A and B are shown apart, each in its own frame.
Chain A
Amino acid sequence: MTIAGMSVVEILEGQQRGEFTPEEVLRAHLDRIEAEDVGAFLRLCPKGSPGKGLLQGVPVALGDEVCTEGVETTAGSRILSGFVPPYQATLVGKLEGAGAAVVGKTNLTEFGLSFAMEDALFQRTQNPWRSGTTPGGAAGGAAAAVAAGQAPAAVASDTGGDVRIPASFCGVVGFTPTYGRISRYGVIQHAPSLTQVGLLAQKVRDIALLLKVLAGEDPQDATTLPGELPDFLEKPGEPGSWRIGIAPEAYRSCAGGDVYQATEELWQRAAEELGWQLVEVDMSWLDLAQVARRLIAAAESSSSLGRYDGVRYGYRAKDAQDMRELFSRTRAEGFGEGVKGEMLLGTYILGDQAHYEAYYLQALRARNLVYKSIKDLWQQVDLILTPTTPRPAGEGETPLEIFTGPSNLGGLPAISLPCRLVGGLPVGVQLIAPAGEEGRLLRAAHVLEKMIDFASSRNGGGQRA
């Protein structure tokens, strides 16, 4: 087996057995990046031999919204082209402190505002499963890199499915922890109330390892969770029967037939083979959650992206005569169409008292409705199982984030596992857990992952062509 394409755990074990060195691991991945150009990376920044630690010698890709000191960071926007942060994200320090090697910065849609990777501005990223097909977004570069064996793991932000959607499309594991579990300091965000720092890898065990390194309180991020970290994977004695919430009716109306069928088959197998107990629950609020999340993201974006004015950093329009012209042209020339639309939407709904009440405040009410509805579900179930995306990579009506957005609204941990191929392309299945229950989520995902056995299963046929 070649090094590039191995999971994080395989790389660590291989190094431990003396089969290869950290330098060889890094070289192998850089070679793979060169050999198979899927447009995942915006730029490479391989550093020298990293130190010791839990992730010793593990190459990690970072979404380009993660600030790296001395390395250009653009968040996928022209308005930040050339911006070299004089500081780094807390998570970068943690990764490097654990011996991981940051290989490069991956492509994303502008500020991560669109889930359609086709909207990315700097370059086209291919789905490694089928050239010419979208990898999904916003973290399309990160997912493509992991799927193509160019990095065994990646870190990118998720405000509505940005990590899980491309994970689903690219056949890898995508995970978002509880809101505040991983520090957001130094991660460029458009909607901080929704942003969870997410992880991508090939296996659930890899995710657990990364989470162990990255989780924890950060004095520079007031929303990070204090206290003891939960056991993510080691907890022995898996209960044989989790109570699993499913909403067949809602799924059927939102997801394509193939995807629905794949998901249904999966939960039936889980019930039979794992003894999971299925509980039908109400999720009639999926559409409402989708619209509320979009409004909140738009409102926060209209504020968070105000700082890009050409004065202190980033793109600046030439020869402006006064401040208004400087700001208005810098922003007109620096932002892409998608971001402008969302900022205008956000400005509209915050822009006067009546709109604020009719839209922004109503979106916050809807957020509470979703928050409470899911909270109530934990009386009946331990986990919720949904499709990750309504379809595999490709065109469709239903918003891509229909199943992934609610956990961002609620600040809940969620994970997408490759489920099977639909029309030759992967689709994922999502598990959602209560806040703070990453341990339960990852243990259940680990069991489910084994059952699915995506890489070698008949249904999965889970090897890339």
Chain B
Amino acid sequence: MSVTKQEIKRLGEMIYLDLTDGESVRFADLLNLVLKKADDLLSGLKDKPLRHISQLRNRMREDGVGIPLPKEKVLANAAETQDGCFRVPRILED
């Protein structure tokens, strides 16, 4: 089972990443290479999955209110703003 160019395009859509045909081919090759190695080395392992490397537990803070960023700083890095908000083009596609 190998990853196709079409599959790469679909993955690109999932993470909102336009890909050229050339890129899709190169990335398909890349994935196939890595996945082959993973198939060879990782399949059949039965160890418990290690989800958290930190051995700490229950780290929580008290419910205290602090000072938020000034609005100018919130918006300072945005490419487009309007009425104190971040502006984006229409959300729905045709």
- Taking Cβ atoms with an 8 Å cutoff, the residues of A that contact B are 82-84, 86-87, 179-180, 193-194, 219, 222-223, 225-226, 287-288, 291-292, 294-295, 298, 302, 306, 309-314, 316, 320-329, 331-332, 335, 337, 340-341, 343-345, 347-348, 351, 358-359, 361-369, 371-372, 409-411, 435
Contact = CB atoms under 8 A, between A and B. Distances in A.
Given A291-B37, A295-B38, A340-B23, A332 B18 contact: yes
A325 B18 CA distance: 9
Contact of A344 (B8, B38, B77): B8
B17 A328 contact: yes
B16 A331 contact: yes
Contacts of A331: 15-18
A359 B42 contact: yes
A340 B38 contact: no
B56 A291 contact: no
Contacts of B51: 364
A84 B53 contact: no
Contacts of B52: 193
Interface residues of B, number: 55
Contact of A337 (B23, B59, B73, B80): B23
Contact of A367 (B16, B26, B50): B50
A323 B27 contact: no
Contacts of B77: 82-84, 86, 312-314
A410 B53 contact: yes
Nearest to B41: A288
A383 to B, nearest CB: 20
B18 A328 contact: yes
A368 B48 contact: yes
Nearest to B51: A364
A39 to B, nearest CB: 26
Interface of B: 3, 7-8, 11-19, 23, 26-27, 30-31, 34-35, 37-39, 41-43, 45-56, 59, 61, 69, 73-74, 76-80, 86, 88-94
Nearest to A86: B73
B42 A372 contact: no
B76 A86 contact: yes
A331 B23 CA distance: 14
Contacts of B69: 86-87
B15 A306 contact: yes
Contacts of B26: 337, 341
Contact of B47 (A311, A323, A365): A365
B59 to A, nearest CB: 4
A441 B42 CA distance: 31
Given A311-B79, A341-B30, A409-B53, 8 more contacts: A87-B69, A193-B53, A322-B90, A327-B16, A340-B23, A340-B27, A362-B42, A364-B49
Given A219-B61, A359-B42, A366-B45, A309 B16 contact: yes
